[in-house]
Amino acid sequence: MGHTTALTSSTVAEPLGPESLVWRLGFPRAGLLLAGRALVLQTAHPVIGAGVRDFSNFAEDPWGRLERTLKSLELQLFGGDAARAEAARLRQLHRTINGTGFDGTPYRALDPAAYAWVHLSNFDSTLAFHRWFGPSLSAGEQAQLYDEWRRVGRVLGIRDADLPPDLGSCRAWVGQTVDDTLVDNETVQSLLESFHLSGVEAPWSRLPAPVWHALRPFGGAFLHDVTVGTLPSRLRARLGLRWCRLDRARLQAAALMVRAVTAPLPDWVAHYPAGVRARDASRHHASTPAA
């Protein structure tokens, strides 16, 4: 599936800086709650799901895989000139990922539409985070955020043709991809099973094993609710995921709790270090008079 054509050069767009909304918003630790949602959207894509099946070790090292993904996102969004180097590294890495897809046809990770889908599904999950867990974004801020995300996509080498021109077009693109492209497959089902955290080691080595064993069932249930409840309803049905009014009420209560707990936290607690630095730079930029 998918013939690979050349991606655009990462030199055609400037990386984000302190003037951007992305830097002002920072990198909230609570955003990790939607990581599972983004991964489901991505692995339900036939090209990405097959590539993860053949080349990823997420099942054996879920926390390590997550840490590497977060580091890459930090560089893409807040790395300045280092964003270009990260873009080149990612393209080089994905050149080696190809094989036979679920339907028996060849796939390549640099299939332009699939490569763009990773970026766009991350954006859609960022919007879902702000919709559910805050801070809420105005319509204008959502449009600005997409414009900046599109700029990051161009730095990553994604073709303009695969980056919808505005937020409305992006929403339509995401909806069409969900309806026409995403499928149930062994990779996405394996991923969903891993969210139960059964047999998964603690994310931090210093966390005592008895504490982790006691917390793991609650963590798995919470991760399930946050992931399944924020997915598009058509995809939930396609993946055989049950979701009812009681489930939604439980997720809404969890969202209120997360907002209440995280809103008053200082930046150094609420954000990853890259986000703290970005927010500091954004405030300094806003307070500096124009020359």
- Kindly give the confidence (pLDDT) of every residue in the chain, 291 residues in length, as a single tens digit, with 9 standing for 90 and above: 444 344 444 446 899 999 999 999 999 999 999 999 999 999 999 999 999 999 987 777 788 888 999 999 999 999 999 999 999 999 999 999 999 999 999 999 999 999 999 999 999 999 999 999 989 999 999 999 999 999 999 999 999 999 999 999 999 999 999 999 999 999 999 999 988 888 788 877 778 888 888 888 888 889 999 999 999 999 999 999 999 999 999 999 999 999 999 999 999 999 999 999 999 999 999 987 765
Helix or strand or coil: residue 105? coil
Q: Residues 69, 276, 117, 9: is their CA dihedral positive or negative? A: negative
Distance CA 168, CA 172 (A): 6
- The Cα-based distances of 29 to 25, 222, 273 in angstroms read 12, 16, 10
Q: Can you give the pLDDT at residue 12?
A: 63
Q: Can you give the pLDDT at residue 64?
A: 82
CA 279-283-287 angle, 5° bins: 170
Q: Whole-model pTM?
A: 0.92
Q: Using an 8 Å Cβ cutoff, are 35 and 58 in contact?
A: no
Helix or strand or coil: residue 44? coil
Distance CA 84, CA 78 (A): 11
Distance CA 230, CA 169 (A): 21
* Residue 181: partners with Cβ closer than 8 Å, 6 or more residues away: 45, 46, 113, 117
